[in-house]
Amino acid sequence: MSAPHSCAMITGISGQDGALLAAHLLGEGSDVVGTHRPGRAPDLWRLCELGIGTHPRLRLVALDPADAAACAEAVARVQPDAVFHLAGQSRVADSFRDPQASIAANGLSTVNLLEAVRANVPRAHLVLASSAEIFGAPQHAPQNEDTPLAARSPYGLSKLIAHAAVASWRASFGLRASSAILFNHESELRGVAFVTRKLSLGVARIALGREQSITLGNLDAQRDFGYAPDYVAAMAAMAARDHGNDYVLATGVAASIRDFATAAFAAVDIALDWFGDGVDEVGVERGADRVRVRVDPVFFRPFDAPLMVGDARRARRELGFVPTLDLAGLARRMVEADLERETRST
């Protein structure tokens, strides 16, 4: 089968989604040029774990997407037929500490790349990693492509600027540009700063007797947790289409952080019972009377939408998007990967 893209450019290739997307595209036969931040050596652990760190069709280049001239030069040099913009500030909590940096990293960089594509490879398809945070605190669930946009966090605003820019360049200039409205998508390659990986790593260490408990924030927040490889495959399918569009990528099933914690501990045969409310709530190992999960308000966000769940019917219909793991399967896969890493480290 011939590759859908002769050359694909991925910003932020060293992140979870960038590495998984690179592996997917290389598997389809595409050449891949991945970008990383200038002035530092790229963190290649994800690429190496996927077995593509030294792939002959993978090339890495330094690029600051906030630099418009650098974006134009890189796109002109690479001449990609697909550009996947995944780089940026990816954590909601960080955006409250430095809103301006988040808006520059996520909003301005998208405009720079849209302009670089328009000027140098106008037939290329640009795909943006947008976010469900653009919905803010939606009044109705599930959320789909027609749900009103009302970002509440600085991170959500930064993604809303990027999302709106893609729609604007598509309408104003006829650019083939699409937004993947990504709900929570996790994998064994998720960074440890994210709550799902914090849980999988903590559970692995507890199972090995290296730690006693995990401290979390808002246990009641409900999110739509999917498996990241499914989502990057859908982004690749978006770039293969003749016309741009917006697509919600989600499972359609909501689960609380408490539910994810319960599933993660179940992966190592630890059943949790929950006692208390709010900051006093604890998760206790059944039959052992050991507190395994505690709550600390320091991990609460200034604003946290209570329920986020997506309606991905358009993606299912047009992209063939099908989630492959439920919550229990996702948590188990992540915990087992961290158990293997922790065992290797001894």
Indicate if 186 belongs to the active site.
Answer: no
CB 182 within 8 A of CB 175: no
Q: Which of 133, 186, 231, 247 is catalytic?
A: 133
Q: How far apart are the first and last CA of the chain?
A: 43
DSSP codes, 150-219: ---SHHHHHHHHHHHHHHHHHHHH--EEEEEEE--EE-TT--TTSHHHHHHHHHHHHHTTS---EEES-S
- Classify each residue of 81-106 as buried b or exposed e, where b means 16 or more C-beta atoms within 10 Å of its C-beta: bbbbbbbbbbebbbbeeebeebbbbb
Give CA 78 to chain center in angstroms.
25
* 133 is known as an active-site residue: yes
d(CA 227, CA 252) in angstroms, rounded, equals: 13
Handedness of CA 52, 58, 60, 66 (dihedral sign): negative
CB 217 within 8 A of CB 277: no
Name the catalytic one among 115, 155, 188, 247. Answer: 155
Q: How far apart are CA 84 and CA 117, in angstroms?
A: 11
Q: Give the residue numbers annotated as catalytic, written as ranges.
A: 133, 155
